[in-house]
Amino acid sequence: MEFVSAFQIIPSDSERPGAFVIFPYDRDLVRRFRETFPRARWRGEELGWFVPGTTAAQRLDTWMAQELETLDRHADAKGRDAYLFEPLESSYLTIGDDLSIRTPYSRTIVETLRSIPWARWSPDEKVWRVPFRSYEELRSKWPVIEEAARRSEPGERKKRREEQRQHGASPVSPIQTERRRRRYPVPGDDLPPVETPLMTLSWGVVVFEEIDHHAIEEVPDNRIYPHVNEEPGRYVWAHWRMPSLQEVYRTRPAREAEEYSLRETRGWWLPSRDELQERARKLRELERAQRARHAAQKDSVGPGG
């Protein structure tokens, strides 16, 4: 069940008894949580709520089970009602037991859908699946998704390439070119974990999705990847993406900083609290910018559009 992975209870390892809880932000959910745990306090440094007491973890387990049952029972029905009241219509969207989204590949689409709670990629069907419980979130971000999908259609891509050839495209910097490849050299004998936010020398906090098995053939640009300064054959390409805001919130910061020399040669490490907070800040800025674009698009259409 997608809900379970979105909730996390972490016993406190400090002298003060208690436990931390992390869950997706929802105004009503936070209100119910505060009513149940009036002594709970938000801990920004831990990116979660702290509930004091020796039985905090057990009480949180009970509360979480009740919330999951309630959410599972009502959230999808509420989202389906919202769809019937204000339906999305698009050639990229299919309605069934859930909302199925099939578009041309676009990093903007991937990053936007990853920011929607409980959205998941179905590799067998090559579609994104969003449960009805997340319909309002999907609807608010749909203009961004649909515009990116249209721009990513083969005909549109070809049209832009022809326009660039006619007018002369501005040169792209090596850093921009490399960033678009979404790859990062990591030591083949010291691989990073996948699907967890990690800090890198070049791109900040990212999530590695897949790691190649064969060694790098070309020598990476040392200006972009300063940790590959010798023995390039020792490294392999790891393919990365940006984390979602919820992934950053759920990640516990490293207790101790790793040795500087290890960072310099390995190129990745467990992020500190400050590094996680910086990535969260940038992701929130991105979300605000997307909401502003969406609002501007709605205003330009007008009430009769």
Per-residue confidence (pLDDT) for residue 305, from 0 to 100: 47
pLDDT, tens only, 290-299: 777 766 666 5
Percentage with pLDDT > 90 across the chain? 23
pLDDT, tens only, 165-219: 777 655 667 788 888 889 999 998 889 998 899 999 899 999 998 888 888 888 8
Phi, psi of 299 (to 5 degrees): -65, -35
Instruction: Name which residue leads in pLDDT, 241 or 229.
Output: 241
Measure the CA–CA gap between 277 and 284, rounded to whole angstroms. 10
The per-residue DSSP string of 83-126 comes to: HHHS----TTEEESSSEEE-----HHHHHHHHTSTT-EEETTTT
pLDDT, tens only, 24-59: 767 778 888 999 999 998 886 666 889 999 899 899
Average pLDDT, integer, range 301-305: 50
Per-residue confidence (pLDDT) for residue 1, from 0 to 100: 42
- Taking alpha carbons only, the member of 43, 44, 27 closest to residue 35 is 27
Q: Tokens 């801990």 sit at which residue?
A: 43
Using pLDDT thresholds of 50, 70 and 90, give the confidence band for residue 5.
low
